[in-house]
Structures are given as structure tokens and as C-alpha cells.
Amino acid sequence: MEETIAREAKATLKFARISARKVKIVADLIKGKDVDEAMSIVKFTPKASSEIIEKLLKSAIANAENNHDMKHESLYVAEIFANQGPTLKRIRPAAKGSAVRIRKRTSHITIVLKERE
């Protein structure tokens, strides 16, 4: 019984100033796709998180090629997930001298690429 270890390349962005909920919309579109197809999907998706994910995907591809000697043609997006980061709490003045809490959410985004056999 030989155990084959699947090589993988990762790229992580921490404390991105966008909520994880908004990132997950674009992340679900590219999960399981080849990297070239994923790149074109992200490039033409009109969402706030697509710019961030595009940059992170380029970083993951560069990690795979340079650090792990993986072929660009056989790469695909094995996993992509966005976890909630710390929330920045701000205060905005409201009526009658009261204050309203503003929650500026952050997220931690991770992309894992693997090679197809």
C-alpha cells in the first residue's frame, strides 16, 4: 500500500478589509476550476472581492510554480475559503446625542492549489 502525497500550494491573505460573506460569493464560483478558467471568471465578475481574490490567486500560482515545481497547465483550485477576521468597531453619532456602533468586518482568505493527475 503506497500512500501518494498530493502536492499543494497555498496563498493566504489575512485581515482583508472586506466581510467574509462578500468574499464567499466569488469564492464559490471558482472552487474546483482550473486556474486559467478561475482567473478569467474572477477577472470578469463585478464584485468588490474579485480584485482581492485575483491578486491572491496569482500569488498562489506563483507559489506553486516557484516553490513546489508544479506545472501551470495541471493546476486547479482545490480549496478556497474565507474565514471571519477581527471586527473593527467604530462609533457614529446618532439622534438625541446617542451613538450607533459601526462594525467594519475583516476576513482571512486562503486559496489551496493542487495538481491534476
Domain ranges of the chain: 8-115
106 touches 22 (CB < 8 A)? no
Distance of CA 29 to the CA centre of its chain: 11
Which residues, listed in sequence order, are joined to residue 34 by a DSSP beta bridge? 76
Check the CA dihedral 45-19-17-12 and report its sign.
negative
The per-residue pLDDT for range 60-109, each reduced to its tens digit, is: 999 999 999 999 999 999 999 999 999 999 999 999 999 999 999 999 99
C-beta atoms surrounding 1 within 10 Å: 2
Say if residue 1's pLDDT is above 70: no
Domain 8-115 has CATH 3.90.470.10: yes
Which residues, listed in sequence order, are joined to residue 91 by a DSSP beta bridge? 101
What pTM was computed for the model? Answer: 0.87
Average pLDDT, the chain: 93
Q: Which helix (H) or strand (E) element contains residue 43?
A: helix 35-43
